[in-house]
Structure 1
Protein backbone atom coordinates (compact mmCIF):
# COMPACT_ATOMS: atom_id res chain seq x y z
CA UNK A 1 0.00 0.00 0.00
CA UNK A 2 1.24 3.52 -0.80
CA UNK A 3 1.73 5.72 2.23
CA UNK A 4 2.52 9.32 3.01
CA UNK A 5 3.43 10.97 6.27
CA UNK A 6 4.92 14.23 7.52
CA UNK A 7 7.35 12.82 10.08
CA UNK A 8 11.06 12.50 9.25
CA UNK A 9 12.51 9.27 7.90
CA UNK A 10 13.05 6.83 10.82
CA UNK A 11 16.63 6.81 12.07
CA UNK A 12 17.08 3.11 11.33
CA UNK A 13 15.66 3.34 7.81
CA UNK A 14 18.09 2.00 5.17
CA UNK A 15 19.12 4.00 2.12
CA UNK A 16 16.96 3.72 -0.98
CA UNK A 17 19.82 2.05 -2.83
CA UNK A 18 19.30 3.19 -6.39
CA UNK A 19 21.80 2.97 -9.20
CA UNK A 20 25.34 2.80 -7.71
CA UNK A 21 26.83 4.40 -10.82
CA UNK A 22 24.98 7.65 -10.09
CA UNK A 23 27.63 8.17 -7.41
CA UNK A 24 30.43 7.24 -9.81
CA UNK A 25 29.20 9.71 -12.42
CA UNK A 26 29.16 12.45 -9.82
CA UNK A 27 32.68 11.55 -8.74
CA UNK A 28 33.81 11.98 -12.35
CA UNK A 29 32.07 15.34 -12.46
CA UNK A 30 34.02 16.42 -9.37
CA UNK A 31 37.24 16.00 -11.32
CA UNK A 32 36.23 18.98 -13.46
CA UNK A 33 34.88 21.09 -10.59
CA UNK A 34 36.22 24.63 -11.21
CA UNK A 35 35.83 25.96 -7.66
CA UNK A 36 34.37 25.28 -4.22
CA UNK A 37 30.76 25.05 -5.43
CA UNK A 38 29.11 24.50 -8.77
CA UNK A 39 25.53 23.97 -9.96
CA UNK A 40 24.03 23.01 -13.31
CA UNK A 41 20.42 24.20 -13.43
CA UNK A 42 18.18 23.18 -16.33
CA UNK A 43 14.56 24.15 -16.97
CA UNK A 44 12.00 22.26 -18.99
CA UNK A 45 10.84 24.17 -22.04
CA UNK A 46 7.50 24.50 -23.78
CA UNK A 47 6.84 24.31 -27.53
CA UNK A 48 8.14 27.86 -27.97
CA UNK A 49 11.38 27.19 -26.10
CA UNK A 50 10.37 29.16 -23.01
CA UNK A 51 10.75 27.74 -19.46
CA UNK A 52 7.70 25.73 -18.39
CA UNK A 53 5.54 27.60 -15.87
CA UNK A 54 5.10 25.57 -12.68
CA UNK A 55 1.56 25.75 -11.31
CA UNK A 56 0.25 23.52 -8.54
CA UNK A 57 1.25 21.71 -5.37
CA UNK A 58 4.54 19.89 -4.69
CA UNK A 59 5.34 16.76 -2.70
CA UNK A 60 8.85 16.21 -1.36
CA UNK A 61 9.67 12.59 -2.12
CA UNK A 62 11.82 10.74 0.41
CA UNK A 63 15.39 12.01 -0.18
CA UNK A 64 18.09 9.44 -0.97
CA UNK A 65 20.89 10.60 1.36
CA UNK A 66 24.11 8.98 2.61
CA UNK A 67 27.03 10.59 4.49
CA UNK A 68 30.59 9.28 4.72
CA UNK A 69 34.00 9.97 6.23
CA UNK A 70 36.95 9.87 3.83
CA UNK A 71 39.55 7.59 5.40
CA UNK A 72 43.31 8.06 5.20
CA UNK A 73 43.46 5.86 2.10
CA UNK A 74 40.69 7.74 0.34
CA UNK A 75 37.90 5.18 0.90
CA UNK A 76 34.44 6.42 1.85
CA UNK A 77 33.34 4.99 5.21
CA UNK A 78 29.58 5.22 5.99
CA UNK A 79 28.63 7.19 9.08
CA UNK A 80 25.20 6.21 10.40
CA UNK A 81 24.78 9.05 12.92
CA UNK A 82 25.68 11.68 10.32
CA UNK A 83 23.28 10.15 7.81
CA UNK A 84 20.46 10.12 10.34
CA UNK A 85 21.03 13.82 11.08
CA UNK A 86 21.09 14.69 7.38
CA UNK A 87 17.85 12.80 6.73
CA UNK A 88 16.18 14.93 9.40
CA UNK A 89 17.81 18.26 8.54
CA UNK A 90 17.58 18.31 4.75
CA UNK A 91 13.82 17.69 4.26
CA UNK A 92 12.99 20.44 6.75
CA UNK A 93 15.34 22.87 5.00
CA UNK A 94 13.97 21.89 1.57
CA UNK A 95 10.39 22.47 2.69
CA UNK A 96 11.31 25.93 3.96
CA UNK A 97 12.96 26.82 0.65
CA UNK A 98 9.94 25.64 -1.34
CA UNK A 99 7.50 27.53 0.87
CA UNK A 100 9.60 30.68 0.56
CA UNK A 101 9.49 30.26 -3.22
CA UNK A 102 5.68 30.25 -3.01
CA UNK A 103 4.92 26.57 -3.51
CA UNK A 104 1.98 24.82 -1.87
CA UNK A 105 3.30 21.64 -0.23
CA UNK A 106 1.65 18.28 0.26
CA UNK A 107 2.76 15.95 3.10
CA UNK A 108 6.14 14.37 2.40
CA UNK A 109 6.00 10.97 0.72
CA UNK A 110 7.95 7.93 1.95
CA UNK A 111 8.00 4.42 0.54
CA UNK A 112 6.96 1.65 2.96
CA UNK A 113 10.03 0.12 4.63
CA UNK A 114 9.32 -3.36 3.23
CA UNK A 115 8.67 -2.29 -0.37
CA UNK A 116 10.04 -4.71 -2.98
CA UNK A 117 11.69 -4.08 -6.37
CA UNK A 118 8.44 -4.84 -8.20
CA UNK A 119 6.57 -1.97 -6.51
CA UNK A 120 5.51 0.76 -8.97
CA UNK A 121 6.64 3.58 -6.70
CA UNK A 122 10.01 1.92 -6.10
CA UNK A 123 10.42 1.60 -9.85
CA UNK A 124 9.58 5.28 -10.23
CA UNK A 125 12.44 6.19 -7.86
CA UNK A 126 14.84 4.18 -10.00
CA UNK A 127 13.42 5.56 -13.25
CA UNK A 128 13.99 9.09 -12.01
CA UNK A 129 17.63 8.23 -11.26
CA UNK A 130 17.99 6.69 -14.72
CA UNK A 131 16.67 9.88 -16.33
CA UNK A 132 19.08 11.95 -14.23
CA UNK A 133 21.92 9.72 -15.41
CA UNK A 134 20.88 10.42 -19.01
CA UNK A 135 20.81 14.14 -18.31
CA UNK A 136 24.34 13.90 -16.87
CA UNK A 137 25.59 11.78 -19.77
CA UNK A 138 24.31 14.29 -22.29
CA UNK A 139 24.83 17.29 -20.05
CA UNK A 140 27.56 19.03 -21.95
CA UNK A 141 26.84 22.61 -22.94
CA UNK A 142 24.25 22.72 -25.71
CA UNK A 143 23.63 18.95 -25.66
CA UNK A 144 20.55 18.80 -23.43
CA UNK A 145 18.08 19.31 -26.25
CA UNK A 146 15.82 17.06 -28.27
CA UNK A 147 15.29 17.10 -32.02
CA UNK A 148 12.97 20.07 -31.59
CA UNK A 149 15.75 22.08 -29.92
CA UNK A 150 14.32 21.92 -26.40
CA UNK A 151 15.26 20.53 -22.99
CA UNK A 152 12.69 17.75 -22.93
CA UNK A 153 12.92 14.79 -20.54
CA UNK A 154 10.10 12.69 -19.11
CA UNK A 155 9.45 9.87 -16.65
CA UNK A 156 6.41 8.81 -18.65
CA UNK A 157 2.86 7.90 -17.57
CA UNK A 158 4.00 5.85 -14.56
CA UNK A 159 4.09 9.07 -12.50
CA UNK A 160 0.30 8.86 -12.24
CA UNK A 161 0.73 6.36 -9.38
CA UNK A 162 2.53 8.99 -7.30
CA UNK A 163 0.00 11.64 -8.33
CA UNK A 164 -2.83 9.43 -7.07
CA UNK A 165 -0.98 8.53 -3.85
CA UNK A 166 -0.15 12.11 -2.85
CA UNK A 167 -2.61 14.39 -4.63
CA UNK A 168 0.33 16.57 -5.64
CA UNK A 169 0.87 18.11 -9.06
CA UNK A 170 4.67 17.91 -8.89
CA UNK A 171 7.21 15.73 -7.11
CA UNK A 172 10.65 16.84 -5.96
CA UNK A 173 13.22 14.01 -6.11
CA UNK A 174 16.59 14.52 -4.38
CA UNK A 175 19.78 12.45 -4.18
CA UNK A 176 22.76 13.49 -2.02
CA UNK A 177 26.10 11.87 -1.22
CA UNK A 178 28.17 13.89 1.26
CA UNK A 179 31.67 13.03 2.52
CA UNK A 180 33.95 14.65 5.08
CA UNK A 181 37.70 14.46 5.52
CA UNK A 182 38.80 12.38 8.51
CA UNK A 183 41.82 13.27 10.63
CA UNK A 184 43.88 10.63 8.86
CA UNK A 185 42.87 11.92 5.45
CA UNK A 186 43.66 15.50 6.47
CA UNK A 187 47.16 14.40 7.44
CA UNK A 188 47.59 12.62 4.10
CA UNK A 189 46.52 15.77 2.25
CA UNK A 190 49.25 17.73 4.04
CA UNK A 191 51.77 15.06 3.08
CA UNK A 192 50.51 15.21 -0.49
CA UNK A 193 51.08 18.96 -0.62
CA UNK A 194 54.59 18.61 0.82
CA UNK A 195 55.80 15.61 -1.17
CA UNK A 196 53.70 15.66 -4.34
CA UNK A 197 53.03 19.36 -4.70
CA UNK A 198 49.28 18.84 -5.09
CA UNK A 199 46.03 18.01 -3.32
CA UNK A 200 45.05 14.34 -3.18
CA UNK A 201 41.46 15.35 -2.37
CA UNK A 202 39.11 15.17 0.59
CA UNK A 203 35.42 15.35 1.29
CA UNK A 204 32.89 16.60 -1.23
CA UNK A 205 29.12 17.08 -1.42
CA UNK A 206 27.31 15.86 -4.52
CA UNK A 207 23.59 16.12 -5.20
CA UNK A 208 20.92 15.76 -7.87
CA UNK A 209 17.41 17.19 -7.75
CA UNK A 210 14.53 17.14 -10.20
CA UNK A 211 11.01 18.53 -10.21
CA UNK A 212 8.63 16.29 -12.14
CA UNK A 213 5.11 17.08 -13.33
CA UNK A 214 2.99 14.21 -12.00
CA UNK A 215 0.31 14.79 -14.61
CA UNK A 216 2.57 14.47 -17.65
CA UNK A 217 5.86 13.00 -16.40
CA UNK A 218 7.86 15.96 -17.72
CA UNK A 219 11.02 17.00 -15.88
CA UNK A 220 10.36 20.72 -15.49
CA UNK A 221 13.54 21.54 -13.54
CA UNK A 222 16.82 19.72 -12.83
CA UNK A 223 20.00 20.58 -10.95
CA UNK A 224 23.40 19.04 -10.31
CA UNK A 225 25.26 20.29 -7.21
CA UNK A 226 28.96 19.79 -6.54
CA UNK A 227 30.30 21.42 -3.39
CA UNK A 228 33.60 21.04 -1.58
CA UNK A 229 32.38 22.77 1.59
CA UNK A 230 28.71 21.80 2.12
CA UNK A 231 27.63 20.14 5.37
CA UNK A 232 24.30 18.40 6.07
CA UNK A 233 25.11 17.38 9.64
CA UNK A 234 23.56 20.48 11.20
CA UNK A 235 20.45 22.57 10.41
CA UNK A 236 22.39 25.63 9.27
CA UNK A 237 24.47 23.60 6.84
CA UNK A 238 21.33 21.88 5.58
CA UNK A 239 19.79 25.28 4.88
CA UNK A 240 22.80 26.22 2.75
CA UNK A 241 22.77 22.91 0.89
CA UNK A 242 19.01 23.12 0.23
CA UNK A 243 19.48 26.64 -1.13
CA UNK A 244 22.21 25.46 -3.52
CA UNK A 245 20.51 22.23 -4.58
CA UNK A 246 17.15 23.96 -5.18
CA UNK A 247 18.72 26.87 -7.02
CA UNK A 248 16.54 28.21 -9.82
CA UNK A 249 13.40 26.34 -8.81
CA UNK A 250 10.49 28.75 -9.08
CA UNK A 251 6.81 29.10 -9.82
Structure 2
Protein backbone atom coordinates (compact mmCIF):
# COMPACT_ATOMS: atom_id res chain seq x y z
CA UNK A 1 0.00 0.00 0.00
CA UNK A 2 1.40 3.41 -0.98
CA UNK A 3 2.09 5.72 1.94
CA UNK A 4 1.83 9.51 1.60
CA UNK A 5 3.45 11.99 3.94
CA UNK A 6 0.57 14.04 5.34
CA UNK A 7 2.79 16.74 6.89
CA UNK A 8 5.26 17.65 4.15
CA UNK A 9 3.84 17.33 0.64
CA UNK A 10 5.93 15.63 -2.02
CA UNK A 11 5.60 16.78 -5.61
CA UNK A 12 5.85 14.59 -8.70
CA UNK A 13 6.07 15.25 -12.45
CA UNK A 14 4.03 13.34 -15.02
CA UNK A 15 5.39 12.04 -18.31
CA UNK A 16 4.53 14.04 -21.45
CA UNK A 17 1.11 13.35 -22.97
CA UNK A 18 -1.08 14.88 -25.67
CA UNK A 19 -2.51 18.28 -24.73
CA UNK A 20 -6.34 18.19 -24.61
CA UNK A 21 -6.66 21.89 -25.45
CA UNK A 22 -4.10 22.77 -28.13
CA UNK A 23 -3.38 20.69 -31.22
CA UNK A 24 0.22 19.62 -31.64
CA UNK A 25 1.19 20.37 -28.06
CA UNK A 26 2.31 18.02 -25.29
CA UNK A 27 1.50 18.55 -21.64
CA UNK A 28 3.12 17.68 -18.32
CA UNK A 29 1.77 18.23 -14.82
CA UNK A 30 3.27 18.63 -11.41
CA UNK A 31 1.12 17.08 -8.70
CA UNK A 32 0.88 16.16 -5.04
CA UNK A 33 -1.54 14.23 -2.84
CA UNK A 34 -4.12 15.96 -0.66
CA UNK A 35 -4.43 13.65 2.33
CA UNK A 36 -4.57 13.92 6.12
CA UNK A 37 -5.71 16.64 8.47
CA UNK A 38 -3.75 19.34 6.65
CA UNK A 39 -5.36 18.61 3.28
CA UNK A 40 -7.90 21.51 3.43
CA UNK A 41 -5.20 24.01 4.35
CA UNK A 42 -2.86 22.68 1.65
CA UNK A 43 -5.63 22.70 -0.96
CA UNK A 44 -6.37 26.36 -0.26
CA UNK A 45 -2.70 27.30 -0.47
CA UNK A 46 -2.19 25.39 -3.71
CA UNK A 47 -5.42 26.67 -5.30
CA UNK A 48 -4.27 30.22 -4.59
CA UNK A 49 -0.98 29.25 -6.25
CA UNK A 50 -2.61 28.02 -9.45
CA UNK A 51 -3.25 24.34 -8.71
CA UNK A 52 -6.47 22.44 -9.40
CA UNK A 53 -7.94 19.49 -7.51
CA UNK A 54 -9.02 16.14 -8.94
CA UNK A 55 -10.06 13.64 -6.24
CA UNK A 56 -7.18 13.66 -3.72
CA UNK A 57 -4.68 15.08 -6.20
CA UNK A 58 -3.67 18.73 -6.63
CA UNK A 59 -2.02 19.43 -9.98
CA UNK A 60 -0.71 22.27 -12.10
CA UNK A 61 0.59 22.39 -15.70
CA UNK A 62 4.37 22.16 -15.98
CA UNK A 63 4.79 22.09 -19.76
CA UNK A 64 8.28 22.59 -21.13
CA UNK A 65 7.46 24.73 -24.18
CA UNK A 66 4.08 26.31 -23.39
CA UNK A 67 2.69 28.61 -20.68
CA UNK A 68 -0.78 29.22 -22.09
CA UNK A 69 -2.74 27.62 -19.23
CA UNK A 70 -3.60 30.55 -16.94
CA UNK A 71 -5.37 30.27 -13.59
CA UNK A 72 -8.51 32.43 -13.44
CA UNK A 73 -10.61 33.69 -10.54
CA UNK A 74 -13.64 35.97 -10.64
CA UNK A 75 -13.86 39.01 -8.34
CA UNK A 76 -17.32 38.09 -7.05
CA UNK A 77 -18.17 41.32 -5.23
CA UNK A 78 -17.30 43.49 -8.24
CA UNK A 79 -18.95 41.24 -10.81
CA UNK A 80 -21.89 42.66 -12.74
CA UNK A 81 -23.73 40.38 -15.21
CA UNK A 82 -23.94 41.42 -18.84
CA UNK A 83 -27.27 41.89 -20.57
CA UNK A 84 -27.08 38.35 -21.96
CA UNK A 85 -26.24 36.96 -18.51
CA UNK A 86 -29.23 38.74 -17.01
CA UNK A 87 -31.40 36.97 -19.61
CA UNK A 88 -29.85 33.64 -18.58
CA UNK A 89 -30.55 34.36 -14.90
CA UNK A 90 -34.18 35.15 -15.73
CA UNK A 91 -34.49 32.00 -17.87
CA UNK A 92 -33.40 29.88 -14.91
CA UNK A 93 -35.47 31.48 -12.15
CA UNK A 94 -37.39 28.22 -12.04
CA UNK A 95 -34.31 26.37 -10.71
CA UNK A 96 -32.90 26.17 -7.20
CA UNK A 97 -29.66 24.58 -6.00
CA UNK A 98 -29.27 22.51 -2.83
CA UNK A 99 -25.77 22.24 -1.35
CA UNK A 100 -25.03 18.72 -0.10
CA UNK A 101 -22.16 16.64 1.19
CA UNK A 102 -20.19 14.85 -1.57
CA UNK A 103 -22.23 11.67 -1.81
CA UNK A 104 -22.74 10.19 -5.30
CA UNK A 105 -26.15 8.89 -6.37
CA UNK A 106 -27.42 6.84 -9.30
CA UNK A 107 -29.49 9.83 -10.41
CA UNK A 108 -26.38 11.99 -10.57
CA UNK A 109 -24.50 9.35 -12.53
CA UNK A 110 -27.34 8.94 -15.05
CA UNK A 111 -27.27 12.70 -15.70
CA UNK A 112 -23.45 12.66 -15.84
CA UNK A 113 -23.49 9.89 -18.48
CA UNK A 114 -26.14 11.68 -20.55
CA UNK A 115 -24.06 14.86 -20.43
CA UNK A 116 -20.83 13.10 -21.47
CA UNK A 117 -22.51 11.12 -24.24
CA UNK A 118 -24.04 14.29 -25.67
CA UNK A 119 -21.29 16.86 -25.14
CA UNK A 120 -17.98 15.02 -24.64
CA UNK A 121 -18.31 11.68 -26.41
CA UNK A 122 -14.64 11.70 -27.45
CA UNK A 123 -13.26 13.35 -24.29
CA UNK A 124 -10.92 11.93 -21.69
CA UNK A 125 -13.83 11.18 -19.33
CA UNK A 126 -16.03 9.43 -21.90
CA UNK A 127 -15.47 5.91 -20.55
CA UNK A 128 -16.05 6.71 -16.87
CA UNK A 129 -18.06 4.10 -14.98
CA UNK A 130 -20.34 4.51 -11.97
CA UNK A 131 -17.38 3.60 -9.76
CA UNK A 132 -15.19 6.22 -11.46
CA UNK A 133 -17.89 8.82 -10.89
CA UNK A 134 -18.24 7.84 -7.23
CA UNK A 135 -14.49 8.26 -6.76
CA UNK A 136 -14.58 11.68 -8.46
CA UNK A 137 -17.22 12.87 -5.98
CA UNK A 138 -16.29 11.26 -2.67
CA UNK A 139 -12.50 10.80 -2.86
CA UNK A 140 -11.76 14.09 -1.14
CA UNK A 141 -10.05 15.19 2.07
CA UNK A 142 -11.10 18.83 1.73
CA UNK A 143 -14.37 20.76 2.21
CA UNK A 144 -16.08 19.55 -0.95
CA UNK A 145 -19.76 20.09 -1.70
CA UNK A 146 -22.09 18.87 -4.41
CA UNK A 147 -24.90 21.18 -5.51
CA UNK A 148 -27.99 19.60 -7.03
CA UNK A 149 -30.22 21.81 -9.16
CA UNK A 150 -33.90 21.03 -9.56
CA UNK A 151 -37.02 23.01 -10.42
CA UNK A 152 -38.61 25.10 -7.72
CA UNK A 153 -41.66 23.57 -6.06
CA UNK A 154 -44.49 25.11 -4.03
CA UNK A 155 -42.58 24.47 -0.79
CA UNK A 156 -39.11 25.49 -2.00
CA UNK A 157 -39.34 28.89 -0.32
CA UNK A 158 -39.65 27.01 3.00
CA UNK A 159 -37.38 24.00 2.46
CA UNK A 160 -34.80 25.67 0.21
CA UNK A 161 -34.89 22.55 -1.96
CA UNK A 162 -36.14 21.87 -5.46
CA UNK A 163 -38.43 19.13 -6.65
CA UNK A 164 -38.62 16.74 -9.57
CA UNK A 165 -35.85 15.35 -11.79
CA UNK A 166 -32.24 16.42 -11.42
CA UNK A 167 -31.40 19.17 -13.95
CA UNK A 168 -27.77 20.01 -13.18
CA UNK A 169 -24.95 19.24 -10.73
CA UNK A 170 -21.87 21.10 -9.57
CA UNK A 171 -18.94 19.64 -7.65
CA UNK A 172 -17.01 22.37 -5.86
CA UNK A 173 -14.68 23.09 -2.95
CA UNK A 174 -15.63 25.64 -0.32
CA UNK A 175 -12.60 27.59 0.82
CA UNK A 176 -11.94 30.48 3.16
CA UNK A 177 -11.80 32.91 0.22
CA UNK A 178 -14.57 31.52 -1.98
CA UNK A 179 -15.57 28.58 -4.14
CA UNK A 180 -13.32 26.55 -6.41
CA UNK A 181 -15.37 24.95 -9.17
CA UNK A 182 -14.19 21.40 -9.82
CA UNK A 183 -16.70 20.04 -12.36
CA UNK A 184 -20.28 20.63 -13.45
CA UNK A 185 -22.73 18.93 -15.78
CA UNK A 186 -26.35 19.26 -16.79
CA UNK A 187 -29.24 17.83 -18.79
CA UNK A 188 -28.14 18.13 -22.44
CA UNK A 189 -31.77 18.59 -23.51
CA UNK A 190 -31.86 21.97 -21.71
CA UNK A 191 -29.13 23.61 -23.78
CA UNK A 192 -31.49 26.54 -24.49
CA UNK A 193 -31.18 27.53 -20.79
CA UNK A 194 -27.36 28.05 -21.02
CA UNK A 195 -26.91 26.08 -17.82
CA UNK A 196 -23.11 26.07 -18.02
CA UNK A 197 -23.10 29.86 -17.73
CA UNK A 198 -25.89 29.91 -15.16
CA UNK A 199 -24.10 27.49 -12.81
CA UNK A 200 -21.12 29.86 -12.69
CA UNK A 201 -23.46 32.79 -12.06
CA UNK A 202 -25.04 30.83 -9.22
CA UNK A 203 -21.62 30.23 -7.64
CA UNK A 204 -20.87 33.94 -7.86
CA UNK A 205 -24.14 34.61 -6.03
CA UNK A 206 -23.33 32.03 -3.34
CA UNK A 207 -19.88 33.53 -2.89
CA UNK A 208 -21.36 37.01 -2.46
CA UNK A 209 -23.96 35.82 0.04
CA UNK A 210 -21.17 34.42 2.19
CA UNK A 211 -19.14 37.62 1.90
CA UNK A 212 -16.21 35.89 0.18
CA UNK A 213 -14.12 37.41 -2.60
CA UNK A 214 -13.43 34.79 -5.29
CA UNK A 215 -14.78 32.09 -7.56
CA UNK A 216 -11.92 29.99 -8.95
CA UNK A 217 -12.65 28.81 -12.51
CA UNK A 218 -9.55 26.74 -13.16
CA UNK A 219 -7.51 27.29 -16.31
CA UNK A 220 -8.16 29.56 -19.25
CA UNK A 221 -6.19 28.67 -22.37
CA UNK A 222 -5.73 31.37 -24.97
CA UNK A 223 -6.56 29.96 -28.38
CA UNK A 224 -8.69 27.09 -27.09
CA UNK A 225 -12.39 27.38 -28.02
CA UNK A 226 -13.22 25.08 -25.09
CA UNK A 227 -12.02 27.74 -22.67
CA UNK A 228 -13.29 30.94 -24.30
CA UNK A 229 -16.35 31.13 -22.01
CA UNK A 230 -14.21 31.78 -18.92
CA UNK A 231 -13.03 35.16 -20.16
CA UNK A 232 -16.63 36.50 -20.15
CA UNK A 233 -16.90 36.66 -16.34
CA UNK A 234 -15.33 40.02 -15.48
CA UNK A 235 -13.70 41.50 -13.56
CA UNK A 236 -11.35 38.60 -13.13
CA UNK A 237 -7.77 38.04 -12.11
CA UNK A 238 -5.15 35.91 -13.84
CA UNK A 239 -2.22 34.35 -12.04
CA UNK A 240 1.03 35.67 -13.53
CA UNK A 241 4.70 35.51 -12.57
CA UNK A 242 3.98 38.64 -10.50
CA UNK A 243 1.02 37.11 -8.67
CA UNK A 244 -2.71 37.63 -9.26
CA UNK A 245 -3.30 40.56 -11.62
CA UNK A 246 -6.44 42.13 -13.07
CA UNK A 247 -7.15 40.80 -16.56
CA UNK A 248 -7.70 43.61 -19.06
CA UNK A 249 -8.23 41.55 -22.20
| Range class of TM-score, shorter chain | under 0.3
Normalising by structure 1, report the TM-score. 0.26
Normalising by structure 2, report the TM-score. 0.27
Larger strand share, 1 or 2? 2
